[in-house]
Amino acid sequence: MRVVWFITGVVGWALPGSVGAAEPTPAEVFEKRIVPIFKSPNPSSCVQCHLAGVDLKDYILPDAEKTFRSLRDQGLIDLDAPEKTKIVKLIDMGGNANGPNAVNAKLRVAERDAFVAWIKACAADPKLKDAPKLDEKDRAQPARPVEVIRHARKDQVLESFERNVWAWRFRCMNCHTEVTPQNDKYRKEYGDRVAWVKKGGPADTLEYLIASKLLDPAKPEQSLLLRKPLGEKHEGGTKFVVGDDAYKGFRTWIEDVAAIRADKYAAVADLPPADTGPQRFGTDLWLKLTACPPEWGDKFLQARVFAWDAKRKAWDETPVAVSDRVVSGKANLWQHSLTLLTSKDSERAKAWRTGKPSLPDGKYLLRVYVDGNGKLAKDWQAVLGEADLAGQVEFQAKWREGYNAMTAVDASKVRK
Ligand code: HEC
Ligand code: HEC
């Protein structure tokens, strides 16, 4: 019914003055095409990129004429070029999405057609053009400030995901990575749910996770994505301890997503502090500390690796790699994969983003921090500092990938 009616409308506009049914008035087009968008209980196509903060509905008022004036006065409608109008451009931002966004693409086309049809009808009505300005307080616009809209954009959430979650994925590999022999084996036994690290990379993994049951939006700290690696009924065993770097990253991201989705950020002051720290890149480079002193046994140990700056003839001030884990007291051994760090806009960051993150062979400084009295367990946001420094040692590294090619350091040489 709606489709037939719409086609008549298009013909009417394309051939002005042609015979046929009277053209629908702007109010009629509004009623038929815009009101259903306004009343729909489902999010608009904007949700493809805006997880919260803005929706097409935010620009619509129950009244046709007021909606027109509201959009016109905000510069969102151009009567001379309805298709190039800003509100249509916002709808068009989704582009020609295929694949996982195909459903959204259909919705977007419907929204776009509806707005173009309505704006064209408005353009044909001289009364509307000259309608008085709408009071600013009556305008329809998103309730959230632009900073909140930006924070809730999916590309921003993805950036945070890469830094906070994706960077630590090597702790979960390959058990959870799609299309690896190990994952295929687990999949046969436990089903598709174990394949939550998607072969397409971080964006696909993020799409999967935010739609999955692994995140608990009401109690983010209780999310399975945190509880399983803490060792709670987890076939993969204990991969996190409360307060380690990966836990901090996962939890920070999970809490943020939960707050975004619950629309909890109302004002700029509600947003979490900007992450000014380095970019993190997960690797399959391993560091091993042998002959650990007994007093480190079963304690949480953080390793920070510093590179030599030949120009300054000094160690770098910030670490180039980190890793943390509990020391095996039985074996006096600590070993784990490294996460590399570099500032966001460095040449290294560019290279590591597109290629494989790696480090040159050579001399490095290892600083060892030990959580002697369970500081992190009490406060997951606590950071080990100079008081926790167990000592340092210089070592030669020949970085090679893989569990069987670890760089070993004799921990008995660690000195304050
Ligand atoms: C394909 C992804 C995508 C879709 C779909 C999308 N947006 Fe956006 N939106 C963005 C990006 C990216 C920006 C930032 C653009 C920029 O800064 O130039 C943005 C910016 C905005 C802003 C400006 C906020 C600011 O930073 O100043 C508003 C308002 C907005 N979008 C509304 C909408 C509405 C309404 C819809 C749905 C009708 C929509 N967007 C659909 C990606 C999208
Ligand atoms: C040695 C293999 C292995 C490693 C490493 C591993 N896991 Fe698992 N994990 C499993 C298996 C097998 C299952 C399915 C059985 C179960 O629920 O324990 C599972 C289940 C899960 C589930 C539940 C999935 C669902 O949809 O029910 C989550 C979440 C999870 N793991 C998170 C992690 C995280 C996060 C890491 C890394 C920090 C990790 N795992 C590391 C083997 C592993």
CATH number at residue 371: 2.60.40
CA separation for the pair 1, 193 (Å, rounded): 43
Res 15: pLDDT:
44
Answer yes or no: is 142 within a domain.
no
What pLDDT score was predicted for residue 100?
A: 56
Q: Could you tell me if the CB of 227 is within 6 A of ligand 2? A: no
pLDDT at residue 11 is higher than 90: no
Q: Do 312 and 387 lie in a common domain?
A: yes
In angstroms, what CA-CA distances link 142 with 149, 159, 295? 9, 24, 57
Only one residue has tokens 């003055």, namely: 17
Residue 8 lies in a domain: yes
* pLDDT of 150 over the 90 cut: yes
The Å distance, Cα 93 to ligand 1 centre, comes to 7
CA of 37 to the centre of ligand 1 (A): 18
Residue 253 lies in a domain: yes
In a domain, 45, yes or no: yes
User: Which residues span the domain enclosing 253?
Assistant: 151-270
Q: Whole-number mean pLDDT of the chain? A: 92
Say yes or no: 397 and 295 in one domain.
Answer: yes
Query: Region 296-300: what's the mean pLDDT?
Result: 97
pTM of the model: 0.90
Q: Is the CB of 214 under 6 A from ligand 2?
A: yes
The per-residue pLDDT for 10 is: 41
Closest by CA position to 225, among listed 169, 300, 286: 169
Q: What is the mean pLDDT of residues 276-288?
A: 95
Cα dist from 188 to 108, 191, 204, 209, whole Å = 38, 6, 22, 21
Cis peptide preceding 42, ω within 30 of 0: no
Instruction: Decide whether any atom of ligand 2 lies within 6 Å of the 251 Cβ.
Output: no
Do 334 and 400 lie in one domain? The reply is yes
Query: What are the beta bridge partners of residue 388?
Result: none
> Look-up: residue for tokens 């400030």?
145
| Residue 141 resides in a domain | no
215 shares its domain with 308: no
Distance CA 307, CA 291 (A): 23
Task: Please compute the mean of the pLDDT values over residues 390-400 and round it to a whole number.
Answer: 97
Which-ligand-closest: CA of 166? 2
pLDDT, greater one: 96 or 85 = 85
Residues 299 and 371 in one domain: yes
Same domain flag for 211 and 234:
yes
Ligand 1 centroid, distance to 150 Cα (angstroms): 8
Pocket test for ligand 1, best of 51, 93, 101, 144 (most atoms within 8 A of CB): 93
CB 209 less than 6 A from any atom of ligand 2: no
User: Predicted confidence band at 97 (pLDDT cuts at 50, 70, 90)?
Assistant: low
Three-state DSSP class for residue 137: helix
In the predicted model, is pLDDT for residue 169 greater than 90? yes
Distance, CA of 221 to CA of 3 (rounded, Å): 48
Query: Which mutation among 49, 57, 150 tests ligand 1's pocket best, with the greatest number of atoms within 8 A of CB?
Result: 49
Residue 348, pLDDT score: 95
Percent of the chain with pLDDT over 90: 87
Over 90: is that where the pLDDT of 215 sits?
A: yes
Q: What is the mean pLDDT of residues 95-117?
A: 81
User: Which structure tokens are listed for 327?
Assistant: 């020391």
What sections of 154-282 are H helices per DSSP?
154-164, 181-190, 202-211, 224-227, 245-261
| Smallest-distance ligand from the CA of 251 | 2
**Residue after which a domain boundary falls, among 238, 270, 302:** 270
Average pLDDT over residues 404-411: 97
pLDDT on residue 16 = 45
pLDDT on residue 105:
87
The whole-number average pLDDT for the span 58-65 is 96
Model confidence band, residue 22 (pLDDT cutoffs 50, 70, 90):
confident
Q: Whose CA is nearest to atom 8 of ligand 1?
A: 90
Q: What is the pLDDT of residue 153?
A: 96
pLDDT-based confidence at 23, cuts 50/70/90? confident
Residues 159 and 227 in one domain: yes
The answer to whether residue 146 sits within a structural domain is no
Least distant ligand from the CA of 97: 1
- Helices (H) and strands (E) in the chain — how many of each? 15, 8
Amino acid at 363: K
Find the range with the poorest average confidence among 7-16, 197-206, 215-224.
7-16
User: Does residue 19 have a pLDDT over 90?
Assistant: no
Instruction: Return the pLDDT at 408.
Output: 97
Please report, as a single letter, which amino acid is at residue 69: R
Ligand 1 centroid–CA 146 distance in Å is 10
d(CA 20, CA 10): 12
Contact 163 CB / ligand 2 (< 6 Å): no
Instruction: Give the pLDDT score at 129.
Output: 84
What's the average model confidence in pLDDT over 340-369? 95
**Ligand 2 geometric centre to CA of 262 (Å):** 26
In the structure encoding, which two tokens stand for residue 387, read together?
Answer: 């008081």
Query: Final residue of a domain: which of 80, 102, 135?
Result: 135
Q: Which atom of ligand 1 approaches the CA of 150 most closely?
A: 26
pLDDT for position 7: 39
Atom of ligand 2 nearest to the CA of 225: 29
| Structural domain includes residue 382 | yes
Q: Check whether residue 207 and residue 228 sit in a common domain.
A: yes
Does residue 8 surpass a pLDDT of 60?
no
For ligand 2, whether the C-beta of 193 sits within 6 Å is yes
Spatial contact of 337 and 284, defined as CB atoms under 8 Å apart: yes
> Does any domain span residue 143?
no
The average pLDDT across 63-80 equals 95
How many structural domains compose the chain? Answer: 3
**Binding-site residues, ligand 1, Cβ < 6 A:** 44-46, 48-50, 54, 56, 90-91, 93-94, 146, 149-150, 153, 155
In this structure, which ligand is nearest to the CA of 44? 1
Residues 21-47 as b/e (b if ≥16 CB within 10 A, e otherwise) read: eebbebbbbbebbbeebbeeeebbbbb
For residue 228, how far is its CA from the centre of ligand 2 (angstroms)?
6
The domain boundary residue, chosen from 270, 299, 332:
270
Q: Supply the residue whose CA is at minimum distance from atom 42 of ligand 1.
A: 49
Average of per-residue pLDDT across 404-410? 97
Greater confidence (127 vs 6) lies with: 127
- Averaged pLDDT, 365-376: 96
Residues 232 and 165 in one domain: yes
User: Taking residues 2-10, what's their average pLDDT?
Assistant: 40
What percentage of the chain carries pLDDT values higher than 70? Answer: 93
Tokens of residue 1, six digits: 């019914």
Nearest CA to ligand 1 atom 33: 90
pLDDT > 50? residue 18: no
Q: Are residues 120 and 159 in the same domain?
A: no
Question: Do residue 395 and residue 347 come from a single domain?
Answer: yes
Contact by Cβ (8 Å): 33, 24: no
**Same domain for 14 and 118:** yes
- Output the CA 268–ligand 1 centroid distance in Å: 18
17: pLDDT strictly greater than 80: no
